[in-house]
Structure 1
């Protein structure tokens, strides 16, 4: 018994050291929920998608980790949703060959390229997912998921992470991602092509362009170049529009400007409305001005992924 206790005593520092070194995780499922507390019953505040790097802030040995995302957003995630990494493993991941999903449609990872069956599925990926692999010249490219599972994806659905992460700003492509989700239901905290809340639509649209922004509408109003409410005529496509319930109230809604007074947003569902008094949506809100992301990449709260130290 004494020898067992001594062995345990000497091994404990090693176990603690190994645990402390596992300071990172990669999201390991298509879309993972971030919650306000360490419980499935706790409110979902946001989501992260496959391959998103996150930092461990708190680990009490339960099935929940408190994590910080690459945008600084924090919350709790179930350990079943992530693959834990040491500092060394995280650095190896950043230096590895990776692919990003560029398709707006969900992409299936399959085990065998010669089999056409639902039972051939490994998992699915959504727009912006990051996996290990090199883009092939053939119809399929081989990929490896964060937990080591592997399979094949359609080559035309992915891009090298470097190309995806360094795209030039393209307002129409950002808006096209919104229109792809037209009619999708609003879901509080949702932030993927499966479903979105208002600020989640902004995140999905810009992240597909290799641009990461802060998460919530009340944060997004403080990024980019400010456009005052009276300067409606100066709005450009993909500018962010902000609203509150009262003139001095908290920012509670965000939309993306299209053109000629039209904006697209997630309110009940992803839809369009117009900036005019006879539009029931616009007249029911107080317009509080806009923010322009174009020309402001790498300013506070906006990251070009290629320059984000958690990815490269």
Structure 2
């Protein structure tokens, strides 16, 4: 998808932030996503365009508010508007306590149901659901059960094997097989402009879901993502590796309008109408209608412009150097 914000502004801002190892905050109040998937829009109103999404537990800086619509900034610096019903308000002190609290991250590809009681399994017992990479306060009761607290204070129980402790999730070695498995699990998922969760994705949203599951946060949009990582020229098809991001435009010198994830043997996976696979050959109807503009390698580039290992993100963890 094409971003609303200036690419130059975002890349320069993130360069400064990554150079210091910190995302600066200005003391603004916070909000935290309290529903499975919350919409970020380009204006105040449900009829305005959805430009992105944020999942349960995502901390957001509150820049301004008219009571119903909040002007927010996301963890990667993306700004937009969100309805107040999607979030729980948090003070600096509450966010500081959250960063120190025991937290769990959903690693389950199917949505995880949170139930009101330890033995609840009926539809009427559901408190909420969690999509992949949702973050909640909580702890393991035993090998099969975990207790969780949602950002708005609702409590419940979910199966233990659906979670990793937040620190372990945020600092685990990158597993490309798992990242690609996540992308493949989404095959057939419908395309939705601005979407970036396992419920639906746009092209750059697919990248975000696959990489964030590995504890790596990238910039949001295709035109931003081409500016990050290690550049691979269009002529170097033999140098492509699994997980590289492939970029496309509609004309040879046009702006970047599409991103895909390279798989292997000339195949790639992407969201275009739905999540699907295509081949980098002239007879492939999808590949031939686009202009391939080169690739970026994300793995191994954590800590460079626009690529953040989550254990190093101070909105999520207290950073100790």
TM-score by length of 1: 0.92
Task: Tell me which of 269, 294, 310 is aligned to 1:264.
Answer: 269
Query: Residue in 1 aligned with 2:308?
Result: 303
- Whether the aligned pair in 1 keeps the contact of 2:76 and 2:217 (CA below 8 Å) is yes
- Whether the aligned pair in 1 keeps the contact of 2:115 and 2:121 (CA below 8 Å) is no
Higher relative contact order (CA 8 A, sep 6+): 2
- What pairs up with 1:1-312 in 2 under 5 angstroms? 23-60=29-66, 62-312=67-317
* Aligned-residue RMSD, C-alpha: 1.1
**Secondary structure of 1:94's match?**
helix
1:138 is displaced (CA, Å) by: 3.0
- Whether the aligned pair in 2 keeps the contact of 1:172 and 1:238 (CA below 8 Å) is no
Gaps in structure 2 of 5+ consecutive residues: 1-25
1:192 is displaced (CA, Å) by: 0.1
- Whether the aligned pair in 2 keeps the contact of 1:108 and 1:124 (CA below 8 Å) is yes
State the distance in 1 between where 2:220 and 2:172 align. 20
The one-character-per-residue Cα deviations of 1:198-247 (angstroms, maximum 9, x if unpaired) are 00000000000000000000000000000000001000000000000001
Closer, same or farther: CA 142–203 of 1 in aligned 2, 3 Å: same
- Whether the aligned pair in 2 keeps the contact of 1:52 and 1:130 (CA below 8 Å) is yes
Q: Bigger radius of gyration, 1 or 2?
A: 1
Q: How many residue pairs end up in the alignment?
A: 292
**Secondary structure of 1:134's match?**
strand
1:21 is displaced (CA, Å) by: 7.0
State the distance in 2 between where 1:162 and 1:271 align. 33
1:135 is displaced (CA, Å) by: 2.6
1:115 is displaced (CA, Å) by: 3.1
The one-character-per-residue Cα deviations of 1:46-88 (angstroms, maximum 9, x if unpaired) are 000000011011123x200000000001100000000111111
TM-score by length of 2: 0.89
- Whether the aligned pair in 2 keeps the contact of 1:22 and 1:84 (CA below 8 Å) is no
State the distance in 2 between where 1:303 and 1:275 align. 29
State the distance in 2 between where 1:187 and 1:115 align. 33
1:22 is displaced (CA, Å) by: 6.3
State the distance in 2 between where 1:266 and 1:46 align. 15
Closer, same or farther: CA 243–86 of 1 in aligned 2, 3 Å: same
1:284 is displaced (CA, Å) by: 0.3
State the distance in 2 between where 1:301 and 1:107 align. 30
| Consecutive aligned runs of 4 or more in structure 1 exceeding 2 Å deviation | 113-116, 135-138
Gaps in structure 1 of 5+ consecutive residues: 1-19
- Whether the aligned pair in 1 keeps the contact of 2:34 and 2:88 (CA below 8 Å) is yes
The one-character-per-residue Cα deviations of 1:90-110 (angstroms, maximum 9, x if unpaired) are 111111110000001000000
Range that drifts further, 253-262 or 107-116: 107-116
State the distance in 1 between where 2:158 and 2:233 align. 45
State the distance in 2 between where 1:141 and 1:104 align. 17
